Amino acid sequence: MTFKEQVNELLEAALDSRPDLFLIDFKVSVDNHISILLDGDQGVNLQSCVEISRQVEHNLDREIHDFSLEVASAGVGSPLQKTRQYSKNLGRKLRVERDAAPTLEGILTDANEDGFTLEWKQREPKPVGKGKVTVTKKETLSYQEITSAKVLVK
């Protein structure tokens, strides 16, 4: 079993004991630097990172492998990568960038395995007469058509 496989098994066991947390990214570099990025249904606090770090580190032998370990939470400004992150951010404002279409900003109103729905208000010309009227727009997007989605913090 490789070092990365061993770390991955320990990480999976640690996350099984904390079903409120989920893995965003996991890397082991050639010089055995372990980098783990987590998120959680109610966010990730420092204590959660410490718990996962200890469960991984205490089951690795430093006599056999020289390694460094970093466990961090996905920051508020980092792009959403997993569908579970969309569900946890319902009701929050997102900026969504797409390949061949304009960037959208709106409130995340729905998210499932296939995609998510954004809702926003926009000023448009009145159908009859002069002036503008505010209308509510809604668009459902698939995860494959976006390049980046970030939560906007007020």
Of 29, 47, 73, which residue sits at a domain end?
73
Beta-strand relationship, 68-73 and 33-40: parallel
Question: For the chain, how many structural domains are there in total?
Answer: 2
Q: What residue numbers bound the domain in which 59 lies?
A: 3-73
The pLDDT tens digits of the residues spanning 29-73 come to: 999 999 999 999 988 999 999 999 999 999 998 888 899 999 999
CATH for 7: 3.30.300.20
Quote the Cα angle for 19-24-153, to 5°. Answer: 100
| 92 in the same domain as 62 | no
> How confident is the model at residue 153, as a pLDDT?
86
Residue 61's SS3 state is: coil
CA distances from 6 to 9, 62, 70, 115 (A): 5, 13, 16, 34
CATH for 113: 2.30.30.100
Beta-strand relationship, 115-125 and 104-111: antiparallel
The pLDDT tens digits of the residues spanning 73-85 come to: 988 788 999 999 9
In-domain check, residue 78: no
In-domain check, residue 121: yes
Of 54, 73, 92, which residue sits at a domain end?
73
The pLDDT tens digits of the residues spanning 101-126 come to: 899 999 999 999 999 999 999 999 98
Alpha-carbon torsion, ordered 39, 104, 113, 72, to 10 deg:
-10
| 94 in the same domain as 62 | no
Of 49, 73, 97, which residue sits at a domain end?
73
